[in-house]
Structure 1
Amino acid sequence: MPLFSIFHSILIIFILQLLCNGTYSKLNLKYAILRQKQASKLQNDTFVNQQRIKYDAQKTMRVIFYKNNTKTLETSAYDDTYDLNGSGCSASEKFAIVLHGWIQSCTDEWATSLIERLSYYRGGCVICIDYSVVASSSYMRLYTNFNTLTGAITSIILALIKQGFDPKRGYLFGFSFGGQLASAVGRNLYPHHVIESIDTCDMAGPGFDPIAVDHSKAGKHVQCFHSSQDKGTFVYSCHRNIMLGSCGLKQPSVASQLHLGSHGLCVDIYINTFDYPFYALNSTPPECFTWHEAAKIPDGYTVGYEENFDGQVTGQIFVPTSLHYPYNLSKKQLMLLSKNNG
C-alpha cells in the first residue's frame, strides 16, 4: 500500500505538471499572439502617422512651374496630376527641378537667378519645389523631417513621370539641405527611374556627416560643388567633386561677402559659371590634403552646368576662386598660380 500510495502521488504530480505546462504553453501562445497583434498595430500606427506627416508636409509645399523664365503655374504638392496646359510645359521637353535650403524659398535671389539662367541656357520646363513652411523653423526640426520631405518630393517627381516626363531629360539642383534632398530623392527613384544629371552646391554636412553615402547612385551624372568647412559635407562620393576656392573649404571672396560666407558663395559661384569661365587646375594643390582620386583635367577645362557630361572627367577637381565678383580666375592668373604651386 505505501508503495502504491507513493506511485499514485507521483502520477498525480506528473499529471498536474502536464496540465500546468499545457496551460503555461497556452498562456505563452496567447501572449505571443497578443504581442504580435500589438507590434502589428504599432507598425500600422507608425505607418498611419508617417502618412499623416507626409500629407501635412505636402499640404504646405508648393510646386511652381516656369516657362521662358515666367511663372506659369503654382499648385499644391499634394496634387496627383498637374495642369501641364496651364503651366505651358510639355512632358516631351527637358525639365529642371530646383530645391532650396534651410530658411530659404523659391523666391530667394539665388533661386530666381538660377531659374533665369536655366531657362535661358537649358530651356524646357523649370520647376521649383517650395517647402519654405517646413524650412522656416529650426534646423533640427527641418532635419527630423528629412525623410518626410524626401518621400514627398519623390512623390511629386513620380507624378510628373506618370504624366510623361522622361528622367533622361531631367536635371535636379539642390543647395545646402536641398543638395542632400536632391541626392536622397535620386537614390529613392533609382533603379526604376534614373535622373540624367544632378548638381548640388555645398551639400549640408551637419546631421548628415560622417555617415558615408554613395551620392553617385543618385543619378547618371552627379557633380557636387564644395565651398565650406563649417556647413558643407565632407563626404565626397559624387562622380565629380568640385573643390572651390581653397581646397573646397574656404572662399577668398568671403572677405568682401561676409553676409554670404563660404557656404552661401557656392550657389553664387555656380550661377556665375553659366556666363564666366571657372578654370580647373591640372593637379591637386600641395596645400590640399586628399585621399580621394583626383580627376584627369584637360587643358582649359572649365566647371559648371554641363549639358553634355564628359564621363572621362571624374573625381576631385580643384577650382581656385578670386576675391571679387564674379569670383573666377583668368587663364593668365591660373597659369601663375599653377607655376607657384609647382
Structure 2
Amino acid sequence: MQLFSIFHSILIVCFVLLIDGTHSKLNLRYAILRQKQAAKSQNDTLAYQQRIKYDAQKTMKVVFYKNNTKTMETSAYDDAYDLSGSGCSPSDKFAIVLHGWIQSCSDAWALSLIERLSYYRGGCVICIDYSVVASSSYMWLYTYFDVLTGAISSIILTLFRQGFDPKRGYMFGFSFGGQLASAVGRSLRPHHIIESIDTCDMAGPGFDPIAVDHSKAGKHVQCFHSSRDKGTFVYSCHRNIMLGSCGLKQPSVASQLHLGSHGLCVDIYINTFDYPFYALNSTPPECFTWQKAARIPDGYTVGYEENFDSQITGQIFVPTSLHYPYNLSKKQLKLLAIGGA
C-alpha cells in the first residue's frame, strides 16, 4: 500500500509538471528526490537525524546587528545566547534575514537590507548564515531543507525563551531562504506566530507544484514574485505581489543580466524602502491568475509595511521599469494602464 501511495504521488506530480514546460524537467527531478527522501526518512533513526542536524548546525552562524553595526557573531549550536554583547534587548523589535543558495550574510543585498531595516524598523536585526551548506550544489542544499528548517526554528525558539516577542518579529527570506522562512514560520505554530514575513521570489525548483499554504507561516505574509524559471508558482501568501511582467519577468533584466529576473527581486524589494512602487488597480489582460486580485486604492505602493493592512489581500500587479531603481511614476503607470485597456 505504501509503495502504491508513493507511485501514485509521483504520477500526479509528473502530470502537473508537464503543464508547464519551463519547470517540468527540473521540478520532476526534485519532486522524485523528495519522494525518495520521504520513504527513506521512515527508516532513519532519531540518533541519525540528530547527528545530521548537528553537522549542519555546527557550521551555521547567528549574526547580530544593532543600529546597522555588527555587534556579535555566535555559533548556531549554542542553546543560549549572551545578549549582553549584542546590544539587543528582548523588548526590541527583531528581524530575521535568511539568504539563498550560494549566498551568505555577507552578500551585498543582505548587508543593504540589514541597513534599511536598521534605519526604518530599528531594533535588532539577526542574519542566520548557513553558507557552508549552501555553497554546494542546489540538490545538496535541497536535501538539507528539513534539517535547516529545524535548526533555524531552534535558533528562533532560543530567542523566544530569552524573552523576544513573536508579535514584534519580522522575517525575510530570499529564494531558497524564502521557502525556509515559510517552513520555519509554519513549524513554530500554534504556540508562536511571527507577526510579519516577507519573501522575495521564493524558490520553485524542488518545491513546485506541491500545494503549500504559505499564509500559515505568519500573521501577515506577503510574497514578491519576479521570475518564471526560478520562482515558485504557488501563490498562497496573504499578498502575492507580481513584479514586472505578471511576476514572471523584469524589463530591467536587459541591463542587469548578471542578476536575472530572479536576482532583481531582492534589489527591487530593498528599493521599495526609498522609492514608491505603484500597483495597478486591476489585473493586466495579459496576466493569467488563479487567485483573486486585491482591491487596492489609487496610489497604493508595495514593499516593507510596518502596519499591515489586512483588508488588502490577493494578487497585486506592480509594473517595473528598465532602469534603476526600477519603479514607474504615477504618470507612467497611468499611461501603461491606458495602453493596456
Shorter-chain TM-score tier: 0.7 to 0.9
Cα shift readout 1:251-279 (whole Å, capped 9, x = no counterpart): 00000000000000000000000000000
Cα shift readout 1:2-21 (whole Å, capped 9, x = no counterpart): xxxxxxxxxxxxxxxxxxxx
Instruction: Give the Cα–Cα distance (whole angstroms) in 2 for the partners of residues 198 and 158 of structure 1.
Output: 16
Question: Could you tell me which residue of structure 2 aligns to residue 321 of structure 1?
Answer: 320
Give unmatched runs, 5+ long, in structure 1.
1-41
Instruction: Give the Cα–Cα distance (whole angstroms) in 2 for the partners of residues 311 and 168 of structure 1.
Output: 15
Cα shift readout 1:260-317 (whole Å, capped 9, x = no counterpart): 0000000000000000000000000000011211000101000000000000100000
Shift of 1:45: 5.7
Instruction: Give the Cα–Cα distance (whole angstroms) in 1 for the partners of residues 302 and 294 of structure 2.
Output: 12
Instruction: Give the Cα–Cα distance (whole angstroms) in 1 for the partners of residues 58 and 337 of structure 2.
Output: 52
1:205 aligns with 2:210: no
Question: Could you tell me which residue of structure 2 aligns to residue 79 of structure 1?
Answer: 78
**Residues 196-205 or 289-298, more deviating:** 289-298
Instruction: Give the Cα–Cα distance (whole angstroms) in 1 for the partners of residues 45 and 248 of structure 2.
Output: 40
Cα shift readout 1:40-76 (whole Å, capped 9, x = no counterpart): xx97962111100101111000000000000000000
Q: Which has the higher contact order (CA 8 A, sep 6+)?
A: 2
Which protein has the larger Cα radius of gyration, Structure 1 or Structure 2? Answer: 1
Letter in 2 for 1:270: Y
Equivalent residues in 2 for 1:113-262, closer than 5 Å: 113-262=112-261
**TM-score, scaled relative to structure 1:** 0.87
Shift of 1:207: 0.2
Letter in 1 for 2:321: S
**TM-score, scaled relative to structure 2:** 0.87
Q: Aligned to 1:316, what secondary structure does the other structure show?
A: strand
Cα shift readout 1:219-278 (whole Å, capped 9, x = no counterpart): 000000000000000000000000000000000000000000000000000000000000
Instruction: Give the Cα–Cα distance (whole angstroms) in 1 for the partners of residues 214 and 136 of structure 2.
Output: 27
Question: Could you tell me which residue of structure 1 aligns to residue 102 of structure 2?
Answer: 103
Q: Aligned to 1:74, what secondary structure does the other structure show?
A: strand
Question: Could you tell me which residue of structure 2 aligns to residue 28 of structure 1?
Answer: none
Shift of 1:80: 0.8
Q: Aligned to 2:253, what secondary structure does the other structure show?
A: helix
Instruction: Give the Cα–Cα distance (whole angstroms) in 1 for the partners of residues 239 and 282 of structure 2.
Output: 15
Instruction: Give the Cα–Cα distance (whole angstroms) in 1 for the partners of residues 42 and 100 of structure 2.
Output: 32
Instruction: Give the Cα–Cα distance (whole angstroms) in 2 for the partners of residues 45 and 179 of structure 1.
Output: 27
Question: Could you tell me which residue of structure 1 aligns to residue 111 of structure 2?
Answer: 112
Letter in 2 for 1:120: Y
Equivalent residues in 2 for 1:25-40, closer than 5 Å: none
Q: Aligned to 1:180, what secondary structure does the other structure show?
A: helix
Superposed structure 1 runs of 4+ greater than 2 Å apart = 42-45
Shift of 1:218: 0.2
Question: Could you tell me which residue of structure 2 aligns to residue 94 of structure 1?
Answer: 93
Question: Could you tell me which residue of structure 2 aligns to residue 35 of structure 1?
Answer: none
Letter in 2 for 1:332: K
Give the RMSD, CA atoms, in angstroms.
1.0
Instruction: Give the Cα–Cα distance (whole angstroms) in 2 for the partners of residues 190 and 270 of structure 1.
Output: 27
Q: Aligned to 2:101, what secondary structure does the other structure show?
A: coil
Instruction: Give the Cα–Cα distance (whole angstroms) in 2 for the partners of residues 60 and 67 of structure 1.
Output: 23
Instruction: Give the Cα–Cα distance (whole angstroms) in 2 for the partners of residues 324 and 125 of structure 1.
Output: 33
Q: Aligned to 2:58, what secondary structure does the other structure show?
A: helix
1:277 aligns with 2:276: yes
Q: Aligned to 2:49, what secondary structure does the other structure show?
A: helix
Letter in 1 for 2:148: L
Note closer, same or farther for the CA distance 1:45–1:330 as it changes in structure 2 (3 Å cut).
closer
Aligned length: 301
Question: Could you tell me which residue of structure 2 aligns to residue 332 of structure 1?
Answer: 331
Q: Aligned to 2:171, what secondary structure does the other structure show?
A: strand
1:306 aligns with 2:305: yes
Letter in 2 for 1:127: I
1:295 aligns with 2:294: yes
Instruction: Give the Cα–Cα distance (whole angstroms) in 1 for the partners of residues 44 and 216 of structure 2.
Output: 32
Q: Aligned to 1:129, what secondary structure does the other structure show?
A: strand
Letter in 1 for 2:171: L
Q: Aligned to 1:60, what secondary structure does the other structure show?
A: coil
Query: How high is the sequence identity, in percent, across the aligned residues?
Result: 87
Shift of 1:191: 1.0
Q: Aligned to 2:97, what secondary structure does the other structure show?
A: strand
Q: Aligned to 1:111, what secondary structure does the other structure show?
A: helix
